[in-house]
Structure 1
Amino acid sequence: MAQRRPIHAVTTWVRRQPPKVKAFLAVVSGMAALVLLRFVVHDHDNLFVAAEAVHSIGISVLIYKLLKEKTCAGLSLKSQDLTAIFLAVRLYCSLVMEYDIHTVLDLATLGTTLFVIYMIRFKLKSSYMEDKDNFATSYVVVPCALLALFIHPTTSHYFLHRIFWAFCVYLEAVSVLPQLRVMQNTKIVEPFTAHYVFALGVARFLSCAHWVLQVIDSRGQLLTALGYGLWPSMVLISEIVQTFILADFCYYYVKSVFGGQLVLRLPSGVV
């Protein structure tokens, strides 16, 4: 109990601050974490591998929930569909553009994601909260496709491959939005779903840290290698956007864990 008091005092103080102060604290915390990772992790390319590993752990938690509890309540099928789409596109781009460890990781993550989709769509369809999963995916897929058509890598790869590459980057940044809508509609998030979304938040932060630190280490040369124009900036913006989309939820998740709550209850306006 004594250990929880300082944490409770800090979270209470943060909660009472105006939105601008909270945003400033979030940025400062993120920068402090980046500085720590830069000195702790020597090969910053490992951060991307770690991000994929954490994502896989999150999906494993989902599979455990589906197999043990025989319910998919609280999960967004649309988020899983979007995840499968961007993973499939990224896997294709990786196969034709650069075959490496990322290809293997994406293949494993896509396989487990497809299994989750199969369980929700067929085996556990009766527990699927379709009325809560009401996010219109066309609102993100179409803009991502249009954005990829106009802003994409300027490398020497085939034109269509460069568009696919940009599309999967943009779609990944917003693929979690349907899941956040489900949680917004229910306001109560059971433990396994909360663990999964938190894992996504950690994975997105590690991925963002990978790109930022790689740019710093290369003194901007990485951006040049990605091409010219708006594309290099859009890669970084996409990574930052997908990190901040989940930042608010991760805050309440950590607060709930330290508070000893098994079920996460989200205040109005969160996610």
Structure 2
Amino acid sequence: MGYDGGARKTHAQSIERLVRRASPKEIILASVAVVVMLLIAIKMLLTDHDVLFLAAEFVHFVGIGFLAYKMLVHKNCAGLSLKSQQLTAGFLGIRLYCSLVMEYDWHTILDALTLVATIWVVRMMQTTVRGTYNAGLDSTPLAYVLVPCVALAIVAHPTTKHWWINRVLWAACVFIEAISVLPQLQMMQKARVVERFTANYVFALGVARFLSCAHWILQVFDQKSYLQTALGRGIWPLMVIVSEMVQTGILADFCYYFVLSLSRGDFNVTLPV
């Protein structure tokens, strides 16, 4: 057992040295190659790409389970961003409303469950475990996130037959979701050491974002998909894909250090300066 642990740590250190020696261009090319191979594998294995979106929402919900365990058992919310949780509750609430009036399906049920769980997390952070919340590190102004998203939604939104305000709200929820994790990432970057349950939650978000991004990207190659037929209708379809790629990209770096820490046998994740 000790040998296996030492071997894993040695392999992790070798990979880390290799990444550090690589140029930014080489890292980007390698990352793109890995993503392309994953997308090809998913496309070959799955015939219904909507399963990816359902899986993404389920993984997000499971990620909240790590936070629930942390708050109920360990009685703290160290390293967790209240502002990211508030933004998450916001876009989930908007998406739930839009789903109810625009496209009621299984997504609506999962969104409702995730919204209730997120509101519970926010409430716990404001009451029961408030003493362990570090507001000084969670300093991203919410206006810096919300105002640009709403402004962009007014310009770029779906061209369906629904009411204009509903279409703008739907677009705003997509854009807010894309960058809702930024306060959490900035908070972790300031702290540098991320406690394991918070790290598990953020990694789950990264996996969920990748699955959601894969869902939309593969729709481009699906001749019968809504996105394929809408690609020529304004900039909205393009903005959906860009938003999904942005939210996946901003979590990719953390996911790398998360996997690296696990391979070393470390429960906490240490981020570089």
Q: TM-score, normalised by structure 2?
A: 0.94
Residue among 31, 38, 54 paired with 1:33: 38
Q: 1:221 to 1:60 in 2, by over 3 A?
A: closer
State the 1:214 CA deviation.
1.6
Residue among 151, 159, 165 paired with 2:164: 159
Q: Is the Cα contact below 8 Å between 1:155 and 1:226 reproduced in 2?
A: no
Distance 1:167 1:221 in 2: 19
Distance 1:96 1:257 in 2: 43
Distance 1:109 1:73 in 2: 21
Q: What stretches of structure 2 of length at least 5 have no aligned partner?
A: none
Distance 1:46 1:149 in 2: 30
The answer for the alignment partner of 1:51 in structure 2 is 56
1:93 aligns with 2:98: yes
Q: What stretches of structure 1 of length at least 5 have no aligned partner?
A: none
The answer for the alignment partner of 2:189 in structure 1 is 184
State the 1:218 CA deviation.
2.1
Q: Is the Cα contact below 8 Å between 2:56 and 2:208 reproduced in 1?
A: yes
Q: 1:17 to 1:154 in 2, by over 3 A?
A: same
Equivalenced residue count is 268
Matches within 5 A, 1:1-271: 1=4, 2=7, 5-218=10-223, 222-225=227-230, 228-268=233-273
Q: 1:5 to 1:36 in 2, by over 3 A?
A: farther
Distance 2:17 2:40 in 1: 26
Q: TM-score, normalised by structure 1?
A: 0.95
Q: 1:203 to 1:147 in 2, by over 3 A?
A: same
Q: 1:21 to 1:63 in 2, by over 3 A?
A: same
Q: Is the Cα contact below 8 Å between 2:79 and 2:134 reproduced in 1?
A: yes
State the 1:227 CA deviation.
7.2
Q: Is the Cα contact below 8 Å between 1:154 and 1:227 reproduced in 2?
A: no
State the 1:19 CA deviation.
1.7
State the 1:4 CA deviation.
5.5
- SS of aligned partner of 1:123: coil
Distance 2:73 2:67 in 1: 10
Deviations 1:154-196 (A, max 9, x none): 1111100000000000000000000001101100001000000
Q: Is the Cα contact below 8 Å between 1:59 and 1:112 reproduced in 2?
A: yes
Q: Is the Cα contact below 8 Å between 2:137 and 2:187 reproduced in 1?
A: yes
Which residue identity lines up with residue 138 of structure 1 in the other structure? A
- SS of aligned partner of 2:76: coil
State the 1:26 CA deviation.
1.3
State the 1:219 CA deviation.
7.0
State the 1:41 CA deviation.
2.1
Distance 1:192 1:250 in 2: 14
RMSD between aligned alpha carbons?
1.5
Q: Is the Cα contact below 8 Å between 2:219 and 2:228 reproduced in 1?
A: no
Report the identity percentage.
53
